[in-house]
Amino acid sequence: MLPFTGNPLNRASERRADAAWIAERRQRGLILPLARLQVLVSGESVLRAARVRAMEEFAGAPSVFLGLEGEAALFAVDVSACSDAAERFAPHGVFRELRAAAALLDLGDLAILSQAKAMIDWHARHGFCARCGAPTTPGDAGYKRICTPCGAEHFPRTDPAVIMLAICGERCLLARNKAWGADFYSALAGFVEPGETFEEAVRRELFEEAGVTAGEVTYYACQPWPFPSSLMIGCFAQCARSEVTLDGNELVDSVWLTRAEARDLLDGKMAGRRGPFPAAIAHHLVRAWVEGRESSTDS
Ligand SMILES: [Zn+2]
């Protein structure tokens, strides 16, 4: 299973509009606190999301109903307004950046925290109406924001992005973005634009960033990536020619690797180059190709 996928909660989305049901669950449910978008985790070799009994002092804090875990209702709660949140929640865990903690987190909890982080982040960035500029208020247990003056409703956004492994014969293309470490190579990626399919986005991005013309594009798997709100759509793109012309804006180097070389890169055995981390879909995309598992998977 890909990291960030496989959320085990029952989102019970049919109950979100039932304000009385949500309020009652909120009072006696469990909260997952976030402080300045950092998540509360506990544990050592394997981290877990800290689940804390709802507290009166945070009853009015911004919150989102995440779903049911058995009988327990879980809520993400933004405790950023609490100046001593770290001390207040110290008995339950420590606040960590989700991206940094991802590699150590239990996979189910990583998916839950991904949902929590993406939702709290969305609320934090969408306090005003995009249509008229007035302040908005949350509704449906955190799954929309309402603008009373103009009547607009705003919903949590997910931004689709393609991430693709270009294949030419028996080699795959990895590149280095100038924003990354000097030895870090990964698959190419970019956002899907309005009016575009993900296959079209793959071809456009490959040509735009690397001057590579892709033919057949096949879907592999997708991964929620809450930094802040992407859905990474992993694809393979077949290319007839391997000439590369880097755009120079984002990509500053590229390399075509054989399956054996790509395996070494993933396993940290290639001198002078590092590959994508196991938490990221790019790692799994390359691994699947290395192992001949290019067919589509439901994570
Ligand atoms: Zn408005």
75 forms beta bridges with 31, 65
Residue type, 233: I
State both tokens at 124.
């934090």
pLDDT band (50, 70, 90) for residue 295? confident
pLDDT computed for residue 119 by the predictor: 98
Residue whose entry in the numeric block shows the structure tokens 């120079």: 248
For each of the domains in the chain, give its residue range(s) and CATH number, in order of start: 13-125 (3.90.79), 126-157 (no CATH), 159-290 (3.90.79.10)
pLDDT tens profile 56-71: 899 999 999 999 999 9
Distance 133 CA to ligand 1 centre (A): 6
pLDDT tens profile 109-121: 999 999 999 999 9
* pLDDT (average), residues 43-67: 95
pLDDT computed for residue 294 by the predictor: 85
Distance 299 CA to ligand 1 centre (A): 39
Measuring CA to CA, which residue among 101, 100, 122, 103 is closest to residue 229? Answer: 122
Distance 21 CA to ligand 1 centre (A): 28
Task: Evaluate the omega torsion of the peptide bond into residue 149 and state whether it is cis, within 30 degrees of 0.
Answer: no
Distance 8 CA to ligand 1 centre (A): 35
Q: How far is CA 270 from CA 44, 51, 54, in A?
A: 30, 41, 49
pLDDT tens profile 263-278: 999 999 999 999 999 9
pLDDT band (50, 70, 90) for residue 82? very high
Distance 124 CA to ligand 1 centre (A): 17
pLDDT band (50, 70, 90) for residue 13? very high
Integer Cα distance of 291 and 284 in angstroms: 10
Distance 156 CA to ligand 1 centre (A): 16
Distance 136 CA to ligand 1 centre (A): 7
Q: Residue 162 carries which DSSP code?
A: E
Distance 23 CA to ligand 1 centre (A): 26
Residue 299 has pLDDT above 70, yes or no: no
Residue 162 has pLDDT above 60, yes or no: yes
pLDDT computed for residue 249 by the predictor: 86
Edge-to-edge strands of the sheet including 153-154? 137-139, 144-146, 153-154
pLDDT tens profile 168-183: 999 999 999 998 888 9
Distance 152 CA to ligand 1 centre (A): 5
Sequence-separated (6 or more) residues with CB below 8 Å from residue 113: 32, 39, 41, 49, 98, 105
pLDDT tens profile 205-238: 999 999 999 999 999 999 999 999 999 999 999 9
Distance 63 CA to ligand 1 centre (A): 22
pLDDT computed for residue 262 by the predictor: 98
pLDDT computed for residue 298 by the predictor: 59
